[in-house]
Amino acid sequence: MVYKSKTNDPVKKILSRDLYRNQPYHDPMDPKFRRLMYLRYADDFVILIAGPHSDAVNLKKLVGKFLINECKLRLN
């Protein structure tokens, strides 16, 4: 993406671009918004979900199926 500014001052362009990039592109209070984080350490991993319990259960089923079918592992 090319960012265009109406000024010719390079410092103002950089500050303006950084301000533009730091603007949130979603509304975290949106009821459909989900936050997900994946953490891995050695041979373990954790998936953190900020959302409804049903989403966590569905994701656990999908990850379990993937581990069994693709990796020949079982979810503990």
Instruction: Tell whether pTM > 0.95.
Output: no
Contact 47, 63 (CB under 8 A): yes
CA 54 from centre of chain: 19
Q: What residue ranges do the domains of the chain occupy?
A: 10-71
pLDDT tens digits along 4-41: 557 778 888 888 888 877 776 667 677 777 888 999 98
Query: Which tokens sit at 31?
Result: 């009821």
Q: Which DSSP string do the residues of 2-47 spell out, in sequence order?
A: ----S---HHHHHHHHHHHHTS-SS-TT-TT--EEEEEEETTEEEE
